[in-house]
Structure 1
């Protein structure tokens, strides 16, 4: 799997010379209206906190990438997808983590193919991850941005607890191909509630492409990227560990870079140049 991750990072270099395959497909409903996400202003447990990860599944057919192996590049099959079901995908990696316990796995619908809810073993934090059909990468991107500015907020029922998701989360993350290389968004992501949310964006050149949309969103960029990268789960996993320890942005960035350096077998300096923090 390390081979595929390295291959994907290399293939990102060819994005610029490719004709985009993204068809701009969008869901007719946003994530706040799907599955168990209920009324926008419904009450939820404010004593617990939430980390919400939006994953756009790797997709050879509907994204502007040079195709990877068909098995890991099938954006309609989360079980074998590079960013979800593979060894370093979000679902597999966090299930194996000693820091998190999987509480719930739910098949959602044709847009969000699976939802996961984890609970931290020592902190009162939930981690929610949504796997978007790769065809709907544009919708996934818009849902992430809408949540980051507080425009899209919702709740999710987990056992006997209602937790906040989307803009009701304290930390939001995007994982996947940088679809903003392929399509444009006209939406204005202006902060709606004066709350500052932290964000992590693991996609190629994410600082360059996401920053214009987040300038007015009042976010704290913990980790995003200055170049081509393989957005696998170890990077965000270790960044989250630092976040839960209330570490500085710089220390969180360092944790992310060390994980990336280890798994991608690149120098620590190169990883730090790639994974940056702040504006």
Structure 2
């Protein structure tokens, strides 16, 4: 019996080692836009209901994560379900040509603090998880290659004690699309030893096209500077702010 347990354990370790080398994962945590529970400039009621992902500005609307990626020529939806009362919907996408999975979680807007904490714990490696899709094990949170936070910058409304020191010395990449995220998140990302692949210096609209094009360059081997240019180009395309303005807004590194 003991021998059988040892053999099974060895096989599982080998399996998890194989998935970590061959399958890359991106985990995106979205705090749904919420007029009632977030300190935001109010938006129309339908798109600002943080308890309804289907019509939410950052999820179900035309430029929301769910809708935009589902329409993308690069990604295919393979799974969708509700995780719990905080993560109202999870969607798993598989890239059509690269061995990358993208997992996006829609957090109830009133739980923006929990979403922020989960993101920072993922950055530091304190929170790690996996997900099975068919026979494939996908890394979530700190097991993902790239972690991302999308939504209102909750650190403008609440403070968090900086307890996010790196737990495993792995240097993950991070994207934070929220207003002035560099100014507010920098101390936490330094402690977590994360590479800030893309974040912001001013107010911005965290719609999906910026993330989509940044990730496209990322998974095709582009360096940090190239990722920034792709993101800025996409942002300017939709926001008409001028490329130089978009490049001042979207930056990389400390």
> Which residue in the other structure is 2:196 paired with?
221
Show structure 1 runs of 5+ residues with no match: 1-41
TM-score, normalising length: structure 2: 0.92
> Which residue in the other structure is 1:233 paired with?
208
> Which residue in the other structure is 1:106 paired with?
81
How far off its partner does 1:109 sit? 2.0
> Which residue in the other structure is 2:6 paired with?
none
TM-score, normalising length: structure 1: 0.84
- 1:69 equivalent in alignment to 2:35: no
> Which residue in the other structure is 2:155 paired with?
180
- What is the alpha-carbon distance in structure 1 between the residues aligned to residue 134 and residue 88 of structure 2? 20
Q: Which of 40, 43, 53 lines up with 2:28 in the alignment?
A: 53
> Which residue in the other structure is 1:200 paired with?
175
Q: Which has the larger radius of gyration?
A: 2
Superposed CA offset, 1:15-36 (max 9, x none): xxxxxxxxxxxxxxxxxxxxxx
- What is the alpha-carbon distance in structure 2 between the residues aligned to residue 148 and residue 195 of structure 1? 9
- What is the alpha-carbon distance in structure 1 between the residues aligned to residue 61 and residue 212 of structure 2? 15
Greater alpha carbon shift after TM alignment, 87-96 vs 99-108: 99-108
**Cα RMSD (Å) of the superposition?**
1.1
- What is the alpha-carbon distance in structure 2 between the residues aligned to residue 98 and residue 260 of structure 1? 19
- 1:121 equivalent in alignment to 2:131: no
Q: Which of 83, 90, 94 lines up with 2:65 in the alignment?
A: 90
Q: Is the partner of 2:69 in helix, strand or coil?
A: helix
- What is the alpha-carbon distance in structure 2 between the residues aligned to residue 129 and residue 172 of structure 1? 10
- What is the alpha-carbon distance in structure 1 between the residues aligned to residue 35 and residue 133 of structure 2? 34
How far off its partner does 1:160 sit? 2.2
Q: Is the partner of 1:109 in helix, strand or coil?
A: coil
How far off its partner does 1:163 sit? 1.2
> Which residue in the other structure is 2:108 paired with?
133
> Which residue in the other structure is 2:11 paired with?
none
> Which residue in the other structure is 1:28 paired with?
none
> Which residue in the other structure is 1:145 paired with?
120
Q: Is the partner of 1:108 in helix, strand or coil?
A: coil
Q: Is the partner of 2:102 in helix, strand or coil?
A: strand
- The runs of 4+ residues in structure 1 deviating greater than 6 Å are none
How far off its partner does 1:185 sit? 0.4
Q: Is the partner of 1:55 in helix, strand or coil?
A: strand
Q: Which of 117, 142, 159 lines up with 2:134 in the alignment?
A: 159
On the 8 A contact 2:189/2:196 being kept in 1, the answer is no
> Which residue in the other structure is 1:256 paired with?
231
Count of residue pairs brought into register by the alignment: 238
